[in-house]
Amino acid sequence: MKFNAHPQKFLTGCGTFSVIFVGGYPSITRLLWPCVHSTCIWVLDRTRIAMRSNGPKSHVLMWFTVLGIAVLFGVLHVYTRYVAALNAAVQSAKSHQHLDHWWNPGYLWPRIWRKTAYFNHPHNVISMVPLLVKRSCYCVGSMEVMKQLLGQEGKIQLWDMWRRHRQIVGPAFNAKKYPLVTLEAVHTYKAMASTEGWEDQEEVVIPAINPVILRFTFIIMARCGFGLPVSWVNKNDSSKTAALEEALSVASTTLIPRFIIPRWVYGLPIKYSVASSVYLVRNLSVVSRLHEIDQAWNKHLMGKLVVTRKEYLSLEDEVDKLKISSAGWLLPPTDLVNILSKVMKCIKTANAMVNIKYR
């Protein structure tokens, strides 16, 4: 005897039904469809009886009933399609560990062929071209492309960059760094006193202590937590290092105003012809503060990042040239000396930062 697991529906009258299952238990979706079908027939029949008894006023009830039935059918249709696709994916992942059809790998092939598709393949880019439907796509297994897409994230970095990311994500201060924090605090305080001219004074009056404390805390965090050689500089100093450190200090203390204030506010014209002197002083201080924030974020910080990135890329190009031509000594002696001097300069800078970090 041949058994059939599909339900057989028998609808009679106004929606009464009976379901016969032979040889197995059906799924929940196969149980829902007969119930919904019978319920809809029963509701439509009761609506027809109500329309006959109430007259034309019952048209609203009919339209609401039809709308509710349509919404119910739509929700159930989406649910059944989702369950069917999920079951198909699970069965495909369980049974098709090795696909037999090369012309139809399916959408789980990156998972199934993860050990052989990329790392043991002669090409880093694989193109998938469907025959009937869907769009063609490129599947990339190159780490360089992933770095460009994901950016400088910790999970794709190696060696020194990975240690730096781990240090940034992890706690910046612990028991091992307390002596370093104490030493840097003493050096920063001495630099602050000598720069501001407080060493020869018996009494110092500070109108606002909050900017000083914020700047002092920022320098300690930058030197001990991230290894940045930031020092206490005077506002009258016009050197590039002083401008960068002042920009870092301003950017660290004005993070929330930078996010709140729109960009067009920084470009407003300044009008000095104001009647009240108090209003003039107040507005000039606000405007100068806005210009200072804008220059700190756009001019100093971004300019320094761009210059550093250009130097790094140029150094990489020169090192590549040195690697390519080192076997035959194709480079002139002057170019070789310039490249080696730049490499030694970068090594000295890195050693200085390491000494500051682990002093």
Domain ranges of the chain: 8-95, 107-170, 175-357
Neighbours of 300 (CB within 10 A): 19
Instruction: Return the number of other C-beta atoms located less than 10 Å from residue 10's C-beta.
Output: 10
**Cα distance between residue 144 and residue 158, in whole Å:** 13
Distances (CA, A) of 188 to 22, 80, 121, 193, 199: 85, 67, 56, 9, 14
Helix %, strand %, coil % of the chain (to 5)? 65, 5, 30
What pLDDT shows up at residue 2?
36
Cα separation, 223 vs 185, in Å, equals 10
pLDDT recorded at residue 217: 82
DSSP 88-129: HHHHHHHH-SS-S-TT---TTHHHHTTTTSSTTSS-SEEEE-
Regions of the chain with pLDDT less than 70: 1-37, 48, 50-66, 83-107, 117-122, 133, 150-174, 226, 233-249, 252-253, 268-289, 291-292, 298-359
CA gap 246, 252 in Å, rounded: 10
> What's the pTM value of the predicted model, to 2 decimals?
0.34
